Amino acid sequence: MASTPVTLCFLLRETGSGTEVLLGLKRTGFGTGKIVGIGGHVEAGESDAEAVVREVWEEAGVVVRQADLAHAGVVEFIFPSRPEWNMYCRLFTTRRWEGEPAESLEITPGWFDVEALPLPLMWQDAEHWLPPALAGEVHDVVVVLNEDNETVASVEKLPPRL
């Protein structure tokens, strides 16, 4: 079964105490109750960048431009017990946007210190790829989940693409 294409965008800002990232409490749908990145499904005819620009606007009310996005890697999520959940997720970061994040029906956004991410409140796999992505490292990884669809069975770092 093919993986569903999705995107995530991590808005980064500097404060007096360091770098912060915009994450959100998921209010509906897949991952309800978890802290997640801002993003979602790539719709037919959209590029990954177009999708993430649209999703950031829909979920957080913030305008991001494609030209300001930095590629931060790819995470392929494999759910052996629920293959229809498999996702191919393109990661982006940006340090430029317009507007202030606002709550939507799907997300309650909030700023978090990148040195103190709320990992216990996130999907368990985030600890394997999110800190490097926020540090500017580009990694492509495959995350295989256990039968519970929550805990991580394995994480494989793929060789860099040419």
Structural domain boundaries in the chain: 4-157
The model's pTM is 0.93
The tally of CA atoms less than 13 A away on the side-chain side of residue 151 is 4
Nearest-angstrom CA–CA distance, 53 and 5 = 15
Domain at 4-157: CATH architecture = Alpha-Beta Complex (3.90)
Per-residue pLDDT of 21-80, as tens digits, reads: 999 999 998 889 999 999 999 999 999 999 999 999 999 999 999 999 999 999 999 999
pLDDT at residue 162 above 60?
A: no
Q: What is the pLDDT of residues 97-132, one digit of tens each?
A: 999 999 999 999 999 999 999 999 999 999 999 999
What is the C-alpha to C-alpha distance for residues 94 and 112, in angstroms, rounded to an integer?
15
